[in-house]
Amino acid sequence: MAFEKQTFWDDVSNAGSIGIAGHIRPDGDCVGSALGLASYIRDNFGKEPTVYLEELPKAFDFLTGGDKVVTGYPYREEPFDLFISVDCGDDGRLGKAMEYVKKAKKTYCIDHHATSNGFLENNLVKPEAAATAQIIYTLLDDSKVTLGTAEALYLGIVHDTGVFKHSCTTRETMEIAGALLDHGVSSSRIIDGTFFEKTYLQNQILGRCLMESILCLDGRVIFSSIDRKTINLYGLAPADTEGIIDQLRVTKGVEVAILIRELTPRSWRVSMRSCEIVDVSKICAMFGGGGHVRAAGATMSGSRRDVINNLTAEIEKQLINRE
């Protein structure tokens, strides 16, 4: 069903209970979108949505409502009157929060992934938007935005644009970020404190991945991998490897960067980024994942060599088609 803004707010206004969830392995846009929307609803409708996330990364827990986030998807008998999924394009990525969705009386999806498949009753999907937080801002009345909402949405935009540097960043992105700054957001607190600041461990693993990275396809592709042994040795959490892929991507001459992380033996979490030619969301979708044209992910099985060979073969096809 098409999304209708007034109907959405009428539904929020009429709902006795509201649930909000984002995708599994939540990133900044996912957390910022969920908490920003929850905060706006709390401030303007006098109701408290329940926010479900698989986990809340430490760097984001200062956000308003961070202390109320429910992790671990506890069983809930009672259906929600309204359930809103943010920054998630399909049921698999919503994880166990799908249980709440299945029972909910009304459901909405607000998302910007190119591979978003309109899996809920009402879907607002804008692949051209740099971040889901950016889409959420367009639904709000700016005069009713508080600092808590503004900080969360600004954080979402900062993270999905790589601090306004990815090609998805548009004039609208900057204007919305500017409007959020007018609400008193401290850009340095959000940008340095949640994006650039790295722990010693994160820097160590970044250094290791860069040192062990391999160039292939005439220097157009760079890849690096982190196996179980390394993960256990350093005690790495998924958040500890964020940002590594972005450093790989900016290697001179590289079109595509790949980082794979071993989840369980022969099962790998894949992250891909491209610069200007290859559609990585298409490649990840072929292997059951998805994402955006320039940033996508998937979970793949096989040996390290199998995974890299499968991915580079698809990259090569796209590069050849362009020549």
Residues of this chain that interact with Mn ion (CB under 5 A) are 29, 87, 132, 160
Q: Minimum CB separation from Mn ion for residue 127, in Å?
A: 11
Q: Is 297 in the site for ligand 5GP (CB under 6 A)?
A: yes
Q: Could you tell which of Mn ion, ligand 5GP, none binds residue 294, using a CB distance below 5 to 8 A set by kind?
A: none
Q: Could you tell which of Mn ion, ligand 5GP, none binds residue 49, using a CB distance below 5 to 8 A set by kind?
A: none
Q: Is 289 in the site for ligand 5GP (CB under 6 A)?
A: yes
Q: Is 166 in the site for ligand 5GP (CB under 6 A)?
A: no
Q: Could you tell which of ligand 5GP, Mn ion, none binds residue 166, using a CB distance below 5 to 8 A set by kind?
A: none
Q: Is 156 in the site for ligand 5GP (CB under 6 A)?
A: no
List binders of ligand 5GP among 92-111 (CB under 6 A).
93
Q: Is 283 in the site for ligand 5GP (CB under 6 A)?
A: no
Pairing between β-strand 221-226 and β-strand 256-264 as defined by DSSP bridges: parallel
Among 19, 28, 32, 290, the residue binding ligand 5GP under the rule CB under 6 A is 290
Q: Is 261 in the site for ligand 5GP (CB under 6 A)?
A: no
Q: Could you tell which of Mn ion, ligand 5GP, none binds residue 271, using a CB distance below 5 to 8 A set by kind?
A: ligand 5GP
What is the size of the binding site for ligand 5GP (CB under 6 A)? Answer: 15
Q: Is 220 in the site for ligand 5GP (CB under 6 A)?
A: no
Taking the least distance from each CB to ligand 5GP, the nearer of 38 and 130 is 130
Structure tokens at 144: 């009713």
Q: Is 149 in the site for ligand 5GP (CB under 6 A)?
A: no
Candidate segments 5-13, 182-190, 205-213, 290-298, binder of ligand 5GP by CB under 6 A: 290-298
3-state secondary structure the chain: CECCHHHHHHHHHHCCCEEEEECCCCCHHHHHHHHHHHHHHHHHHCCCCEEEECCCCHHHCCCCCHHHCEECCCCCCCCCCEEEEECCCCHHHHHHHHHHHHHCCEEEEEECCCCCCCCCCEEEECCCCCCHHHHHHHHCCHHHCCHHHHHHHHHHHHHHCCCCCCCCCCHHHHHHHHHHHCCCCCHHHHHHHHHHCCCHHHHHHHHHHHHHCEEECCCCEEEEEECHHHHHHHCCCHHHHCCHHHHHHCCCCCCEEEEEEEEECCEEEEEEEECCCCCHHHHHHHCCCEECCCEEEEEEECCHHHHHHHHHHHHHHHHHHHC
- Residue nearest Mn ion by beta-carbon distance: 29
Residues near ligand 5GP (CB under 6 A) are 23, 89-90, 93, 115, 271, 289-292, 295-299
